[in-house]
Structure 1
Amino acid sequence: MPAQLTTRAQVNGYRFLLRRLDHALVRRDVRMLHDPMRAQSRSLITGAILALLVVAGATIMAFIKPQGSIGNANIVMGKDSGALYTVVRDKNDKNKMVLYPTLNLASARLLSGTSEKPTSVKDSKLGSVPRGPMIGIPGVPAALPGSGQGEHSQWTLCDRVLLSASGGSESSSKAVTTVVAGTLQLDDHIKSADAGTAVLAKWTDDKNQDHTSLIYEGKIADISSDATTQKALTQVINLSSTRPVSSKLMQGAVRVPMLIAPEIAHAGDDGPDGLKSVKVGGVIKVAALDGSGGSNLYVVLADGIQRVSPFTAQFIRAVNSVKMDDIVSVTPDMIAGLPQKHAYDPIPANKGLPIDDFPSVTPRIVSAAEDPVSCVTWAKNNGYGKSQLDSTESLSDWSKVQLLVGTRLPLSDSQVPVQLATADVNSLDRVDQVYVPPATGEFVQSTGNKPGTGELDSLYYIADNGIRYGIPDIKTAQILGLDSQPHLAPWRIIGALVPGPTLSVEDAAKKWDSLPVG
């Protein structure tokens, strides 16, 4: 037989009897004409729930908006005022402390020796702590964010010629110089120049000496003022399409020996054995044996031959064609036993003419009226480099230097450079504006700009305001909260930036009554 279930009326009756029993014991009245005990129970439960909600709300607010206390913090910030302080404690009594007003977070971290974030404390709680004088390094950015380049490292230096009202560049002597950190925005308006494109630059060095230089294939070569050189180059390239450039741009590319008419000993004499029919100083063409169907060019020397580029062949012939109407074609076997010379051969007997860095093809000079923007860009896929010298890396890891030409800077419309306070378009010896992506910064180690260089020099932090700050060592960088390994950056580009103060403990400890103005 199934068990009989308790009815709802029975449960309610049982609860009523229990309440009447409580009422009789507490109030000494079994009649229970009213039920005030039930109202008291409800009030107690409601009060407990409200108290629990208040405690939970206070706990949440403590996490979201803590009032804070100094505690063991080394860097504190006034919650209401935003004032930054470095906490200096007594060596014998940690409860005794002095608050030093600090100019910026970098200085506070250097002084405290930690990379901690400031602890927010209500200003009223800081009022009871003694104060020291103002300390820190003036001119340091409020924050030192990390790089936006990832493992890649790229630095670019550009000049934009300010054309005359008529759109010409002949009378222009002004240019805006810009440094760009990071990946470039390349398109039809600004692109990498191929080997057949070059820029002819006129500029003035630090000693106020005027120069004319050729920028090509990521290289820069001064052009000799020698009359023979000038006359020969005028026949090969257009020497009238010069443009004004800054001295900073001339530092960015890889500098190679001067473009000067090569002096060939015994020019005009009979060639060496096997090439008696060709004069010394003559240019010959030999079919390539690699199956490509092409040919190689050589200049005949008194004791051998030296391979030359098409540009160099034209240049040599424009200087002295040794009465040869054209380039002579010879068979490969005719040069098989002849010594081949090279400009940088370590063996003196094999050293040839200093022409190995001459342009690989005869370049077309791009005028400023056509493309007013010219840039030199340095890029390295493995921006951190190696633990050893760069020269131990494979060729694919080497840095690359390229020439860019176009009508605008290699930036998008939303990427706006910072114009420096020292900008002056009338002066071609300084950087006028810098673009480092906002809210980022570059912790770098300077290196040479030549591919495969082994140079590893000083450490710097370059902020998004375009200023270069020195950093003494890696330990200091870690205290500042920077990456443990810096990117590599070419000194010939970042060295053009405006230098800021060095971020050192010694400089951070300097005390100030007031800061200098102007």
Structure 2
Amino acid sequence: MLHDPMRTHSRATAVGFILGAIGVLGFVIVGLLAPKPTVPDGGIIIAEPSGTVYVVAGNPKTLTPTFNLASARLLLLAQQNQGQGSNDNPDAPAAPPADNPTVIADKDLKDIPKRQLTGIPNGPQLLPTDDQRISDNWAVCDVTEIDKTLPDAQQVKGIQTSVLAGVSDLNRELQPGESLLVQAENRKTYLVYRTPSTINQRNSNAVRAEVDLAKSSVKQALKLGTAVPRKISTGMLNAIPEVKALSAPSISGSGTSDLGVPIGSVFSVQNAGNRDYYVMHSDGIEKVKSTTADLIRYEKSTGGSSIPEVSPDRITAQTQQDRIDDTASPDTPPGVLQAQATGNSVACIGWSLQGTGDARDGHTSLHISGELPLPKDASGTRMEPMKIATPNADGQRIDSFFMPPGRAAVVRGSASKADFDRGPIYLVSDRGVKYGIPDIRTAGALGLNKQSPAPDAIVRLLPDGASLSAKDVNRSFDSVPLAPSAGTVNTPSAQNQPGG
């Protein structure tokens, strides 16, 4: 039987034609079931591949190009406010954005009229969802710069100040019996130590008290003779709760009491297992801490005369007075951690939100380490902070900022728990810039209804970005505004001109 090669060819052609037809039919069906996106009547679209963000409005439709998603949402809020005659309630949240922006090809927008570029050019690039927000941890850290080639008293050179956001591990806490001797920018000196159990300051593990190092009695009583103060930034100092200065209290009266102790002096009583200290008043006695007793005795006598001892049975008839408030004083003089010592050059005051519901409160804690406590990346390399060049509104400057990359924070600046639901609202970016949000309504329009408390003393150290306000978003531009330091490009005509 003869084989017909043309017949085989015809069959192959037919099969190819059928397969091609099936493919075309498949594309048609997919196109019918999943049509390309169309420009909506209103809302936000993102063009691709250009990435331009537009706000769609009007009939017929117009496109308003803008700088970022924040500007687009604020433009929609401004349109909504205008439609309501600006009778909006700033305390009532605006409806959150209903949908994500629609993605449309640039070529499908070519016949729609475009308005001027409008919005906030330096607005935030990220409006965080819940899973893009940081934990409720904030810290300000001072890194003491040490030059160990110099004598001990001259090794402390300066400090670098950093703000950390979303970092929970700040290394070890300052322990009982430890302290920092710090000098502020105004030259005042403070002793920073663990919060005593006798003070009602349970939301902080450390306090600061001013000490006058010009008074030898203070240096002797607190055992600060050889301690070298480390510098402390104003931002970190303000984040540590302050208590009354450590100094000898004023005691009126003169003469000698019936116990044989001069009025205004101190004496001790040995009880089972412990020694108590008392001040002799003209009309009775008062129990004080040993640090207060030492401050008084060194104030009375340059050499710090010995404290007389009185037997317990002799004070039972004495009137107990309560005039000296030393509840915030350390029980005993704490040892000073020198910045030059290994592992002590970095001090951080951390803030965290603790508790739930009405029991929520901010807690501050002082931490000590030998390096800035930054997390490590997937390769085990310690991450680097972002350099900050711009001071805050008060002129204070920090050197760097760290937040886990790709995150942001939406917070209410809080000086106490009373501010948790009424403090100023900020969006803080991972570049260390805080953007003010005027009210709850605006926050809702931005999709940022949920705000977490954050320590105002730390957040206010950050430089200010643009205000995210519907009143400020309607600025139009012919081109993107440039920073004064952006530089210039020489045109050919300028390059060909003769030099002067």
Written as runs of structure 1 = structure 2, the 5 A alignment for 1:344-355 is 352-355=323-326
Instruction: Map 1:88-237; keep pairs closer than 5 Å.
Output: 88-89=57-58, 95-113=59-77, 115=97, 116-146=99-129, 153-164=136-147, 166=149, 170-186=154-170, 190-204=171-185, 209-217=186-194, 218-224=206-212, 227=214, 229-237=215-223
Indicate conservation of the 8 Å contact 2:385/2:402, yes or no: yes
> Which residue type is aligned with residue 314 of structure 1?
D
Alignment gaps of 5+ in structure 1: 1-33, 90-94, 342-351, 387-392
Classify the secondary structure of the residue corresponding to 2:45. Answer: strand
Q: State TM-score, norm by structure 2.
A: 0.75
Post-superposition offset of 1:505: 0.8
Please tell me the residue identity of whatever aligns with 2:160.
Answer: V
* 1:385–1:487 CA contact under 8 A, matched in 2: no
**Change in 2 beyond 3 A, CA 1:365/1:72:** same
Give the distance between the partners of 1:299 and 1:82, measured in 2 at CA. 76
Verify: 1:68 aligned to 2:48, yes or no. Answer: no
Which of 389, 398, 407 is the equivalent residue of 1:421? 389
Q: d(CA) in 2 for partners of 1:233 and 1:497? A: 36
Q: Which residue number in structure 1 is paired with residue 347 of structure 2?
A: 374
Given that residues 48 and 105 in structure 2 are in contact (C-alpha distance below 8 angstroms), is that contact kept between their aligned partners in structure 1? yes
Q: Counterpart of 1:17?
A: none
CA–CA distance in structure 2, aligned partners of residues 372 and 298 of structure 1: 38
Q: Is the 8 A contact 1:107 1:508 kept in 2?
A: yes
Q: Which residue number in structure 1 is paired with residue 233 of structure 2? A: 246
SS at match of 2:450: coil
| Amino acid in the other structure paired with 1:87 | V
Given the superposition, is the C-alpha separation of residues 150 and 439 from structure 1 closer, same or farther in structure 2, using an over 3 Å criterion?
closer
Q: 1:82 to 1:366 in 2, by over 3 A?
A: same
Give the aligned residue type for 1:367: Q
Following superposition, the deviation at residue 178 of structure 1 comes to: 0.7
Provide, for residues 309-336 of structure 1, a one-character-per-residue CA deviation record: whole Å limited to 9, x for no partner. 3333322322236996236365389458
Q: Does 1:79 align with 2:65?
A: no
> How many angstroms apart in 2 are the aligned matches of 1:299 and 1:454?
42
Gaps of 5+ in 2: 1-6, 78-95, 195-205, 377-381, 485-500
Percent identical: 28
Tell me which residue corresponds to 2:3: none
Counterpart amino acid of 1:359?
P
Give me the whole-angstrom Cα distance separating, in 2, the residues matched to 1:297 and 1:152: 46
Q: Secondary structure at the match of 2:154?
A: coil
Residues 177-234 of structure 1, C-alpha deviations (whole Å, 9 max, x = no match) = 0111224334xxx411112111111221xxxx32212222221222236x5x443324
Cα 1:385/1:200, change in 2 over 3 Å:
farther
Q: Residues 449-468 of structure 1: matches in 2 within 5 Å?
A: 456-468=422-434
C-alpha distance after superposition, 1:328-384 (max 9, x if no partner): 36538945874452xxxxxxxxxx2343222233111111111111111122213x7
Alignment match, 2:248:
261
1:431 to 398, 416, 431: 398
Matched, 1:326 2:307: yes
Letter in 1 for 2:228: S
Cα contact 2:266–2:277 (8 A) shared by 1: no
Which whole-Å CA distance do the structure 2 matches of 1:126 and 1:149 have between them? 32
Match of 2:447 in 1: 481
Q: Cα RMSD (Å) of the superposition?
A: 3.7
Label 1:178 to 1:324 Cα distance change in 2 as closer, same or farther (>3 A).
Answer: same
Cα distance in 2 between the residues matched to 1:44 and 1:410 = 68
Q: 1:513 to 1:45 in 2, by over 3 A?
A: closer
Q: Secondary structure at the match of 2:146?
A: coil
Q: Name which of 463, 472, 479 aligns with 1:507.
A: 472
How far apart, CA to CA, are the structure 1 residues paired with 2:419 and 2:29? 61
SS of residue in 1 equivalent to 2:75: helix
Matched residues in 1 for 2:312 and 2:191: separation? 35
Residue 327 of structure 2 is matched in structure 1 by 356
TM-score by length of 1: 0.73
